[in-house]
Amino acid sequence: MKQLFLVELWREPAAGGRAGSWRGIVKHVEHDDERYVVNLSDVSAFIAHRIEAVAPPDEADSGSDGIRTPRC
């Protein structure tokens, strides 16, 4: 089962022209569920949680990371 996520990241403005903190939103498109994030581990945790919630039990416990590069 394919899952689609939208990730938007930006830098908050900081005083004195310095680079601000990273902020973002990660959204599970099918379920319209989204979370504001402050670091990349928040992004991966949200995605992992959503995938585990919809994956059949045999896929969730397979031990494989299941990362594949899409073919064009």
Instruction: Tell me how far the alpha carbon of residue 2 is from its chain's centroid.
Output: 14
The per-residue pLDDT for 16 is 86
The per-residue pLDDT for 32 is 87
pLDDT at 8 over 90: yes
Q: How long, in residues, is the chain? A: 72
Cβ neighbours around 30 below 10 Å, total: 13
Highest mean pLDDT among 11-15, 22-26, 66-70: 22-26
Helix (H) or strand (E) holding 24, with range, is strand 22-28
pLDDT at 67 over 80: no
Q: Which residues contact 2 (CB under 8 A, 6 or more apart)?
A: none
